Amino acid sequence: MSQNWGPVQRFPERLGQAQKVVAIPRKRARPPETIFLDRDEIESTLAALPQEGRYALRDRTLLIFLYNTGARVQETADLRVTDIHFDPSPRVHLHGKGDKWRVCPLWEETANLLNKLLTEHGWASAPDQLVFTGATDAALTRFGIYKIIRRYTTHVVRKRADGRLRPVSPHVWRHSTAVHLLEAGVEVNVIRVFGWAMQASRQPIGMPKLLSEPNKLLWKDVSCRRPQTRGFRGNLFGKPTPRC
């Protein structure tokens, strides 16, 4: 407030004009439209993934990892071997917006695919190696991940409120995870910890098969925990958080 009124203090003769400007009501805009995929679309996409090929394992691991964790595309592009932990419980440390770290549990299928991917490339003993790479072993960019998502979701059609078509992006994939977690019984406050702004009026959709009862309980058990590594000093309330 003091910064906003600084010019008025220097030019008091403009006070009346400033008051008129402040009195102008703010335009109320509708919240941005949230688009997500339902259970059948997720399952059909995963079922149609190729079983053989140079990038078959990478692409399958990438899509299931995104669906499992709801990670942002940049978090996925920056993922390194040292961020993945298989014992005693599979989990991944994600470095997100605001230089914040969080721990996400991994389903058994996701952990097996990641382990197979690292073993196949001989990266298990290379902690600084990027997990998802391209043809020259360089990191996949945000745009590279977007192209992979688009390649396997051409059969999915989504329309905006105005009727225009919207391609399925990694962020749509992320929104799908949030909605499915909500339907699986995960508390809204837990989902918000991962950076989603959930709407209370969300219409329910079917719970995916991957979010089975054990996986649902896994989310409730460890999803709020955050690592104390790499500069993280506490949780949302400034109190120490136990490591997983």
CATH value at residue 104: 1.10.443.10
Average pLDDT over residues 138-155: 91
The answer to whether 14 is a known catalytic residue is: no
List the one residue out of 124, 119, 141 whose CA is nearest residue 132: 141
Give the range of the structural domain holding residue 176, as residue numbers without chain letter.
32-222
| 3-class SS of residue 165 | strand
For 191-214, what is the mean pLDDT? 47
Q: Out of 158, 171, 175, 216, which one is annotated catalytic?
A: 171
Asked whether residue 242 is assigned to any structural domain, the reply reads no
CA distances from 126 to 80, 88, 102, 122 (A): 9, 20, 22, 8
pLDDT at position 235: 33
Does residue 195 sit within a domain? yes
Catalytic residue at 58?
A: no
- The predicted structure's pLDDT at residue 22: 81
- Phi and psi at 61, nearest 5°, equal -60, -40
d(CA 222, CA 242): 10
Residue 185 lies in a domain: yes
The pLDDT tens digits for 53-83 are 999 999 999 999 999 999 999 999 999 999 9
In a domain, 23, yes or no: no
Name 85's bridge partners: 91
Report yes or no on 169 lying in a domain: yes
Residue 139 vs residues 65, 132, 134: alpha-carbon distances, Å:
16, 6, 6
Q: Is residue 3 part of a domain?
A: no
- Answer yes or no: is pLDDT of 188 > 90: no
Where residue 114 falls among pLDDT bands split at 50, 70, 90?
A: very high
At 55, which amino acid appears?
Y
In the residue annotation, 85 being an active-site residue is answered as: no
Residue 121: count of CB within 10 angstroms of its CB? 16
Q: Identify the pLDDT of residue 6.
A: 65
The one catalytic residue in 10, 27, 54, 97 is 97
Does 236 map to a domain?
no
Residue 173 lies in a domain: yes
pLDDT category at 193 given cuts 50, 70, 90 is low
pTM exceeding the 0.75 threshold for the entire prediction: no
Cα–Cα distance, 75 to 89 (Å, whole number): 21
What domain count does the chain have? 1
Q: Is 174 annotated as catalytic?
A: yes
